[in-house]
Chain A
Amino acid sequence: MNHDLEVRGLNKNYDTFSLKDVSFEVPTGYIMGFIGLNGAGKTTTIKSILNMVNYQSGEIRVFGSDSKNKDIQLNGQIGVVMDSPFYVEDWTVTDVEKAVSPFYRHWDSVKFTDLLNQFEIDRKKKVKELSRGMKVKLMIAVALSHEAKLLILDEPTSGLDPVAREELCDMLGEFVTNENKSVLFSTHITKDLEKIADYITLILDGEIVFTGSKEELLEKYVLVKGGLDEINAGHKELIIGLREHSTGFEGMAESANIGRLPKSLLIEPIALDEIIIYMNKGGESS
């Protein structure tokens, strides 16, 4: 399998936070969801990929080439959508096109105009006059107008209403119908990913705790519920993020450990957001 993006052993240290040995790969033709709580290290990882920050060690390869190779226009083949745009607030939408288009070898002005029309963005409007959702749509329009092979999105849906989120997800699904295109989609709104992601990378406190197919992750863990009298200390050790309350308990367990838990417990499939919550709670208690 080919990979558009490979991150290996990435380390970046700040005073109060570190990325520790972050490694994952985005297979060509698929959508990789990059999930984790706020402050888990998603944005730092993405900024490292895009060379916005200097990392201490590790290797990042984009389309097979070292991302630090200055001779290759790697980022020109990447469409970037961050949680807020980097455009001058007093620029009009037309100014945005004038500013960015000369740097893309395959800028498609017609497509940009089509996307602006589709998103109902007025070219004469200034960036500061656009709502947060419209700003995200403007970034998406730029990202999709230069024949990018890889889209990197950092929390793009956090400012969007449900309809716009649905539209974005549909657009990303359509983007990867071309098998040579891939998406790295960082978000903490995991509902979006449940619909469209093929692969998931989960990061907690700067460390990757899972990377693989979405099905693999959802099959790896289960939701466990039951009465307090049904489990003993040994069972509790198998439950990640155990939450006890007056009527019983709930938590997450590895599917491989189901056989070691009492058969009377209620075992249910787990959602992505629940995995993050229990992983985080498990991390806190350990």
Chain B
Amino acid sequence: MKKALKFVRLDFITVKPYLTLKNLIIFLIVPIILILSSGVDVSVISMFMVFAALYVSYPFAVGEKCGMDALYPTLSIGRGTVVLGRYLFALVFNLCAGVFACIYLFVVFTIMQRNFDVLESLVVALVSFIIFSFIQAIQLPIYFKLGYTKAKMLAYMPFIGFFAVIYAFSKLVSSSFISQMAALINWVAANTFISVAVGVIIWIGIMIISCKISIMLYNKRDF
């Protein structure tokens, strides 16, 4: 585990040259433009998660360009550690993006003298985190299997698939299904602790399965 944490640091050093001031300014300005132009509220937090998701793929892109997959064994970093470290990097990056987005929007809303709903912001950040975690749980094994260049197009499929599913749901589901879902949501609201526990267990389970698949696929690769 200690080595996996060292690997997380290595991944941050890997993407550090690309965390430029220019990019940061773009990331900070675009949400403000959206808030001003279309009046969107705290849902703009999810935009920060999109930026984070882009950076999560950077270690694969930079690593492939510079042959870093061959560097790791010279540093006695096992393949399992590489995979575990990369998952931790993705989680930490997503978390940081969510926390940063909340703080940034609080500051922006305060300056704009608009009401900032803390609870709503945290819920949006948490939901975005979960959605992007699930998407990355599908993306990361693809990157580990194919490398960045070959996986690039395939890795966008979970994003497209997610929005396709949302669209299909909104168009195709019957009213009885919606009422069933409403009942489920009511139950979840009434049993918060159990719901959160089940959600966390499902989330951990998906992450572990994804991680195991990534290790299996990464073990087969030659560098």
Residues of A participating in the B interface, judged by any CB pair closer than 8 Å: 47, 50-54, 70, 73-76, 78, 80, 82, 84-91, 95, 98-100, 102-104
Main secondary structure of the interface of A (DSSP, over half): loop
Task: Give the distance to chain B from A140, nearest Cβ to Cβ, in Å.
Answer: 13
B6 in contact (CB, < 8 A): yes
**Which A residues are in CB contact (< 8 Å) with B75?**
75-76, 100, 103-104
Total A-B residue contacts, Cβ distance less than 8 Å: 71
Stretch of B25-33, B60-68, B138-146, B205-213 that contacts chain A: B60-68
Give Cα A103 to B71, complex, Å: 11
Give Cα A104 to B17, complex, Å: 23
Contact between B76 and A103, CB atoms less than 8 A apart: yes
**Which B residues are in CB contact (< 8 Å) with A88?**
13-14, 17, 62, 66, 68
**Which A residues are in CB contact (< 8 Å) with B18?**
90
In this complex, how many residues of chain B approach chain A with their Cβ under 8 Å: the count is 28
B150 in contact (CB, < 8 A): no
Which of A53, A86, A89, A104 is B71 in contact with, Cβ under 8 Å?
A86
Residues of B participating in the A interface, judged by any CB pair closer than 8 Å: 3, 6, 9-10, 13-14, 16-18, 62, 65-71, 73-78, 80, 219-220, 222-223
Contact between B223 and A91, CB atoms less than 8 A apart: no
Residue of B whose beta carbon sits closest to that of A55: B222
Give Cα A52 to B70, complex, Å: 6
| Contacts A50-B73, A95-B16; A89 near B66 (Cβ below 8 A) | yes
Contact between A75 and B74, CB atoms less than 8 A apart: yes
Give Cα A82 to B68, complex, Å: 12
Task: Give the distance to chain A from B196, nearest Cβ to Cβ, in Å.
Answer: 36
Task: Give the distance to chain B from A129, nearest Cβ to Cβ, in Å.
Answer: 13
Task: Give the distance to chain A from B120, nearest Cβ to Cβ, in Å.
Answer: 39
8 contacts between A and B (CB under 8 A): A50-B70, A52-B69, A53-B222, A86-B67, A86-B68, A98-B13, A99-B10, A103-B77
**Which B residues are in CB contact (< 8 Å) with A53?**
222-223
| Contacts A86-B68, A99-B10; A73 near B76 (Cβ below 8 A) | yes
Most buried by A among B18, B70, B75, B220: B75
Residue of B whose beta carbon sits closest to that of A96: B13
Contact between A91 and B222, CB atoms less than 8 A apart: no
Give Cα A104 to B9, complex, Å: 15
Task: Give the distance to chain A from B47, nearest Cβ to Cβ, in Å.
Answer: 26
**Which A residues are in CB contact (< 8 Å) with B80?**
70
Known: A103-B6, A104-B75. 4 other contacts (CB 8 A): A47-B70, A52-B222, A70-B80, A102-B6
Contact between B73 and A89, CB atoms less than 8 A apart: no
Task: Give the distance to chain B from A70, nearest Cβ to Cβ, in Å.
Answer: 5
**Which A residues are in CB contact (< 8 Å) with B13?**
88, 91, 95, 98-99
Residue of B whose beta carbon sits closest to that of A126: B17
Task: Give the distance to chain B from A91, nearest Cβ to Cβ, in Å.
Answer: 7
Give Cα A73 to B81, complex, Å: 13
Task: Give the distance to chain A from B87, nearest Cβ to Cβ, in Å.
Answer: 18
Give Cα A98 to B73, complex, Å: 17
Contact between A51 and B73, CB atoms less than 8 A apart: yes
Residue of B whose beta carbon sits closest to that of A105: B76
